[in-house]
Amino acid sequence: MSKSVHDVAIVGGGPIGAALAIALQASGLSVLVLEARPDAGNSNDARILAMSYGSHLILERLGIWSRIEPVTPIESIHVSQRGGFGRTLLSADEAGLPALGYVVRYARLQRALGQAIESEHTTLIAGAEVTGMQSTAGDVSIEFHRQGTTQSATTRLLVIADGGASAELHGGASVKVREYGQDAVVGLVETSKPHGRKAFERFTPDGPIALLPFESRYALVWTTTPEAANELSALPGNAFLQKLQHHFGDRAGRFLAIEARARFPLILRYAADPVLPRTVMLGNAAQALHPIAGQGFNLGLRDAWELGETLLLHAAHDPGSVECLGAYRAARRPDRLRGIALTHSLVKIFSNDFAPLRAARGAALALLDLVPAAKRALMQRMIFGALR
């Protein structure tokens, strides 16, 4: 059985793992990326991804941004609640930015990142299924299958960035799961009005419904109960559009067509501590969040960038040392915990029809529109994360 030795091994060549690998290309560290798919540079994933302006800056620093253009900017977000008063409008002008965020095809982002992984010090092995991990005081041994053969690698730092698929093989992570009893129904919808680069986030008792401007249409994320999601998924297109019109209203105009419908369950899943001996969990392996407020990918990308920066500072030393990983944990802990808490709190506060709470929500939205400083602070938090 062949064996290779590396400074850093990244399990998962998706956007978060790939971003870290690219961030380390100038470090001089020997990096191995193990990707289960046969080609990290190709993807038929139909998902639409919303990223913050802060994520745009990270991808620009990585030299990736120009490869994923054109993208659709979000210049404003209209926030409201169904069945109650109160609304607010968040705008890029108020934030002093060219856009609050951008909407892009996941597959395009994956291709751009996947094709840029390999470099002088970075090795990508595609079609590698990790089957075992064993941590010692000085390194981590990884076993994987590829093309019918068993291979192994040793690394001073292991990064798990495959959405958590291999985390259980490590055995050291304490993972917490909270069920929301909600599913997301997604798709691309055509409307009678041009979107004008405006997004909508509308809170309902069953969960939020979001419309994100994407090319000439909207990307729809409709959160509801699993039973309702079953019904919506089975409806013919015209019947689905009628339901959507009744549920959302006419702010975006009439809904004319729907395509690429899909659904998936929503949970909160996070590692109590994503930093283990000689191991770091990144992206959905560290925290899988509810899509409300669109924080999941952006939080994961900030984690990858910060880990890259920390490893660059420690490149001359042991990247898996207690000192190095302790510095990363301390740097990311505030943003990570506040991101998890914010997302979870929004779900609990807005996904109900409790009358006193509905009135309080409306008052808060209305007040936010009257206090520009508070609105700017909220936008900064959503775009760039929590300060240390």
pLDDT digits (tens, 9 = 90+) for 228-268: 999 999 999 999 999 999 999 999 999 999 999 999 999 99
- Mean pLDDT score across all residues of the chain: 92
pLDDT above 60 (res 219): yes
Query: What pLDDT, on the 0 to 100 scale, is given for residue 353?
Result: 66
Contact 244, 255 (CB under 8 A): yes
Confidence of residue 196 (pLDDT cuts 50, 70, 90): very high
User: Quick one: 218 exposed, middle or buried, by C-beta within 10 A (0-12, 13-18, 19+)?
Assistant: buried
For the chain, give every domain's residue range.
Answer: 3-52+107-176+272-347, 65-105+179-267
Which tens digits make up the pLDDT trace of 167-195?
A: 778 777 789 999 999 999 999 999 999 99
**Which pLDDT band holds residue 383 (cuts at 50, 70, 90)?**
very high
* pLDDT(315) > 90: no
* Widest CA span in the chain: 66
CATH domain 3-52+107-176+272-347 topology = FAD/NAD(P)-binding domain (3.50.50)
The 8-class DSSP code of residue 263 comes to E
Average pLDDT over residues 26-39: 94
Are the beta carbons of 302 and 58 closer than 8 angstroms?
Answer: yes
What average pLDDT score do residues 141-159 get? 95
Same fold? 3-52+107-176+272-347, 65-105+179-267: no
**350 or 338: which leads in pLDDT:** 338
- 224 vs 221: CA distance, rounded Å: 10
| Mode of pairing for the β-strands spanning 217-224 and 207-214 | antiparallel
* Predicted pLDDT at 136: 87
Tens digits of per-residue pLDDT, 80-90? 888 767 789 99
Exposed/middle/buried for 272, CB within 10 Å: 0-12, 13-18, 19+?
Answer: exposed
Check residue 303 and give its pLDDT: 97
Give the list of residues 6+ apart from residue 66 with CB closer than 8 angstroms, or none: none
pLDDT at 2: 57
pTM: 0.94
Q: How confident is the model at residue 55 (pLDDT cuts 50, 70, 90)?
A: very high
**pLDDT tens digits for range 352-370:** 666 666 777 777 787 788 7
The answer to whether 303 and 223 are in contact (CB under 8 A) is no
288 with 164: CB under 8 angstroms?
A: yes
Dist CA 201 CA 204 (whole Å): 10
**Average pLDDT of the segment spanning 4-27:** 96
90-141 tens-digit pLDDT: 999 999 999 999 999 999 999 999 999 999 999 999 999 999 999 888 999 9
pLDDT of residue 44: 78
**Per-residue model confidence (pLDDT) at position 367:** 78
Report d(CA 17, CA 10) in Å as an integer. 6
**Candidates 3.40.50.2000, 3.30.1180.20, 3.50.50.60, 3.30.9.10; correct CATH number of 65-105+179-267?**
3.30.9.10
Go through the chain and tell me how many residues it has: 388
Q: What confidence tens digit (pLDDT) does each residue in 268-299 have?
A: 999 999 999 999 999 999 999 999 888 999 99
